[in-house]
Chain A
Amino acid sequence: MANKTYSFYPGCSSQGKASSSNYLTSTNSMCQKLGITLNEVPDWNCCGASIGYGGGGELPRVVLSARNLALSEQHNAGQDMVATCAACWLASREAKERLDHSPEMKADANVALKEAGLEYKGQAQARHMVEVLLEDIGMEALQSGVKKPLKGIKFAGYVGCQTNRPFGITGESFENPMYLDNMIEAMGAEAVSNYDQKVTCCGGALAFSEPEKSQKQIKDIIESAYDHGADMIVTPCPLCQANVEIYQGEVNKRYGTKFNIPVTYYSQLITVAYGGTAAEAALGGHLIAPAKLADIANK
């Protein structure tokens, strides 16, 4: 398959033994199978996520991303900077948009960056891994490499917020994006149609500070997946994954439900469908084991 090279911004949650380390492992496996080379941005820092506004204000938050983009321009010149985390991608792209459209903000950011010996020029693009898969590789090519179709598994494609809004994936709608469903089908599995909680907010960072309000959101997301007969949920976002998976016990206590549904990443689906092992797909990295996916991987 195509040999493509990108600058890679994994983000805090994808570090070793962090909350989405299974996303990183499966992304690396997926990229290796697809002929994608990822060059990590040296010394990258946290993007500030969304909740960073509360302590950081605007310019300090923007320079967090400006530093990553400047490092990417300098060390991985000519390569698009690709993020797997929704918040990392959103923060980078938002910062880039503001810096490139406001000469004053760009000048201010560069005064700050000078303290770290860096300069933001605006040469690197900020992209999401899903864009690489859809735009640079394409759904047909993606489908053509499937070795073990994920037959018999029904997935609820939970896109969530920040991979979808405010930028989203070109050509997709904000209210009902179809790419994740198409990706599920391309891997030989079945996608829930009419999954009405596809772009519902899981509470994001407020799952920590406002657990009761957020768990209502999480309950709705899972309930609809069950009601539509899903075996598993799949998502492109590490915070969606964590919130929807790890609070199921809390939701069960609060609402008297008996939820126990695995929540996976698209990178895990692709890795398994491309013949990867359970370890390559990091299927052990779950509180609720994706057993049906592991069965196919172990076949």
Chain B
Amino acid sequence: MSEMKYHNNFLKEVEERVEEGHMVKMCMQCGVCSGSCPFGPHWAHPPQELFMMIRAGKREEVLSSDSMWMCTSCYQCIVRCPRKLPITHIMHGLAYLSKREGMVPKGQPTAQFGQMFWDNLTKTGRVNELKLSLSLYFKDGFGQGIKNAMAMQSVGLGLMKAGRLNPLEILGGHSIKDKSGFQAMLKKAREIEDTRRKLA
């Protein structure tokens, strides 16, 4: 991806490279999305602002912002938007483009967790909840991991007692049968998307 090509046309880049990006230009700046977001106060630039920044060509500011990672996927903005912008998906798409361009702020927790979740599910075709929790606790090293695990000990033990967390999942756990076909399918899908969106 050559940045020069889109130097003054970030909107065009978003339209071509971001999930549902072609809808950004429909925003009329009413701000209902920003006012409806459960994490609204935590966004440095709420969705309405991001849409205007895209049109103003502020590529660096948008893609290096951690705002998009505040989306909880509650879809409140989508159902309330008077222009029917698929805002949730555009936020996901912007966050993903930022990630692929290597512009996510260092240590952004939801970006890290999103990657962990994807790696976890693609390994066996199904989520291994024990390994997912452990990879989250231990993401900042062993010492911090032990501290995090100890802090959540009562939750973990409670879940085990209720039959909702299986310590044996550490040995492998649930899996689909056709792992090789499944992984080949995902590899192909990624290749196609990378070509279409010039993400390689």
Contacts and interface: CB of A to CB of B under 8 A. Distances in A.
Contacts of A46: 121, 125-127
Main SS of chain B's interface residues? helix
Interface residues of B, number: 69
Contacts of A16: 166, 174
Contacts of B159: 19, 246, 287
B182 to A, nearest CB: 6
B155 interface: yes
Contacts of A208: 113, 133, 136
A161 B39 CA distance: 14
Given A12-B127, A165-B78, A54 B164 contact: no
Interface of A: 12-13, 15-22, 43-46, 48-60, 62-64, 67, 108-109, 111-118, 161-162, 165-166, 168, 174, 200-201, 203-206, 208-210, 213-214, 217, 246-247, 249-250, 284-287
Interface string B79-107: 11000000010001101100110000000
Contact of A54 (B88, B110, B199): B110
A54 B119 contact: no
A110 B177 CA distance: 20
A44 B188 CA distance: 19
A205 B163 contact: no
Contacts of A286: 162
Highest count of chain B CB atoms <10 Å: which of A54, A201, A209, A217: A54
A206 B39 contact: yes
16 contacts: A17-B169, A44-B176, A46-B121, A46-B126, A51-B113, A53-B93, A57-B19, A108-B189, A108-B192, A108-B193, A109-B189, A111-B192, A165-B74, A165-B75, A210-B109, A285-B164
A165 B109 contact: no
B186 A63 contact: yes
B79 A165 contact: yes
Contact of A213 (B39, B117, B199): B39
Contacts, number: 215
Contact of A59 (B76, B116, B190): B190
Contacts of A113: 185
Contacts of A13: 127, 129
Given A18-B164, A58-B19, A60-B186, A49 B155 contact: no
A8 B154 CA distance: 33
Contacts of B163: 17, 21-22, 284-285
Given A20-B164, A45-B125, 14 more contacts: A21-B164, A46-B125, A46-B126, A46-B127, A49-B117, A50-B92, A108-B192, A112-B185, A112-B188, A116-B185, A162-B75, A210-B70, A213-B42, A284-B162
